[in-house]
Amino acid sequence: MVSLKHGGEWAEEIRRCGIPVVELHRCRRFQPSRLLGLWRAIRSFRPRLLVTFMFTASTYGRILALLGGVPHRVCCERGGDLKTPGRVCVERLLARVTDAVVYNSKRNEASGKASGIRARTLTIYNGVELTPPNPAEGDRLLRHLGVPPGATLVGKVGQLHPRKDYPLFLEVAKRLAARPDLHFLIIGDGPERGRLERGVETLGLAGRVTFTGQLADPLPLVARLRVKLVTSLREGMSNALMEAMALGVPCVVSAAGANDELITDGVEGYVVKDRDPAIFARQVGALLDDPLLWQRLSENARRRAAGQLSVTRMVHSYEELFTQILSDAS
């Protein structure tokens, strides 16, 4: 495995599995020495198949693999990024020397085809696999944060960034604030925090909203949510949403990105197509008011995560693809 920058904790995790890891440390945006390092790695390992992830690695990797005589190349695309005309042009050119382009959602695959990608394409969903967190850890974190004991929790998880539209989340909270048992969690941190904290004061939500800040492991708090909200303007294939589903937390989500591929409206949660806080609040209220409905959607979400969104299924799909490409060439 080759990382185009410092591999962090994952590098050590992968090495413990007995897999060699090459880390090409990055000091600036364009660094020719990384190209040289990647070239050396390709020439040293001499793979029959090179798999690349994300735009920079997929560009460098496929060009050098072609020059280095690697016979097969698979590119894995991820959504959520706005594609510039220059990037689209590069991807069209490199698709001609790519055995397959793998997307993590059907929406992203359709977008790739619409942009003129002429290669074999397919969708393989990300997989989610997690150990249910210890409830005691969730209780400890809630006490530490000063959340009222016994509160019913509605929350949102992610970076505090404009594309996540936290102001819409606060507008939804304002409409639900008449319910005295509710408390709202914003799990994560980011550049919008100061503005959002001022928004809490302006909307009269002081004491009803808690900002957790960055957490090493947010899952103990996610597991304590009664309902998770996703109000994003832009999304790719949301891993945080899949984690909530695996924990059996019903979600009310915007129609951004691949959210409506993960959540079927009224089955695992609700999909809100209009960016209207009143509609979000109504759907959250329906889940809070009907325990049987909440239980049904919770079980459906957990079942979908354990099946179609499982790591086992994801790995098997990649194995099938790689085996087919290599066997077709033999």
Show me where the domains of the chain are located.
Answer: 2-128+311-329, 135-306
User: Residue 218: pLDDT above 60?
Assistant: yes
User: Residue 80: pLDDT above 90?
Assistant: no
Pick the CATH number of 2-128+311-329 from 3.40.50.460, 3.90.1720.10, 3.40.50.2000, 3.40.250.10: 3.40.50.2000
Q: What pTM does this model have? A: 0.89
295 pLDDT band, cuts 50/70/90, is: very high
User: Residue 329: pLDDT above 70?
Assistant: no
User: Residue 99: pLDDT above 80?
Assistant: yes
Amino acid sitting at position 300: N
State residue 81's pLDDT score: 53
User: Residue 116: pLDDT above 90?
Assistant: no
Pick the CATH number of 135-306 from 3.40.50.300, 3.90.1150.10, 3.40.50.2000, 1.10.10.10: 3.40.50.2000
CB–CB of 244/230 below 8 Å? no
Query: pLDDT digit string (tens) for 266-293?
Result: 999 999 999 999 999 999 999 999 999 9
Which residue bears the tokens 């799990």? 187
For the ranges 26-40, 107-121, 272-286, which has the lowest average pLDDT? 26-40
State residue 28's pLDDT score: 66
* Other Cβ atoms within 10 Å of 250 Cβ, number: 27
> Torsion angle of alpha carbons 207, 229, 198, 178, nearest 10°?
-40
Amino acid sitting at position 14: I
pLDDT cut 70: percent of the chain above it: 97
For the ranges 30-39, 192-201, 229-238, 278-287, which has the lowest average pLDDT? 30-39
